Homo-oligomer: A and B are copies of this chain.
Amino acid sequence: MATARSAQNAAEKRRIILDAAVRVFARQGFHTCRVSDIADEAGVAYGLVYHYFRSKDEVLDTLFLERWNVMLDAIREVDGQDILARKKLEAIAGFIIDSYRHDPDLMKVIIVEVTRAANSFGQTHLAKITEAYNLIGAVVEKAQASGEFRTDISPQFAAMAFYGAIEQVLTGWIFDSLPQSAGGFDEAKRLIVETICSGLDR
Mark A residues whose CB is within 8 Å of B: 29, 31-32, 112-113, 116-120, 122-123, 126, 129-130, 133, 152-154, 156-158, 160-169, 171-172, 174-175, 177-179, 182-183, 188, 191-192, 194-200
Known: A164-B169, A178-B156, A188-B157. A32 touches B126 (CB 8 A): no
Known: A126-B177, A177-B129, A177-B133. A161 touches B153 (CB 8 A): no
Is B161 in contact with A165, judged by CB distance below 8 angstroms? yes
Q: Say which residue of B32, B119, B169, B196 sits within 8 Å of A199 (CB atoms).
A: B196
Is A183 in contact with B154, judged by CB distance below 8 angstroms? yes
Q: Say which residue of B31, B116, B166 sits within 8 Å of A116 (CB atoms).
A: B116
Give the distance in Å from the alpha carbon of A166 to the alpha carbon of B165 in the complex: 9
Quick one: which of A156, A161, A183, A191 has the most chain B CB within 10 A?
A161
Residues from chain B with Cβ under 8 Å of A196 in the complex? 161, 195-196, 199
Residue of B nearest to A191 (CB): B157
Given contacts A156-B178, A164-B165, 17 further A-B contacts (CB under 8 A): A31-B120, A116-B117, A117-B117, A118-B174, A118-B175, A123-B175, A129-B177, A133-B178, A157-B188, A157-B191, A160-B168, A160-B169, A161-B169, A161-B191, A194-B199, A195-B200, A198-B198
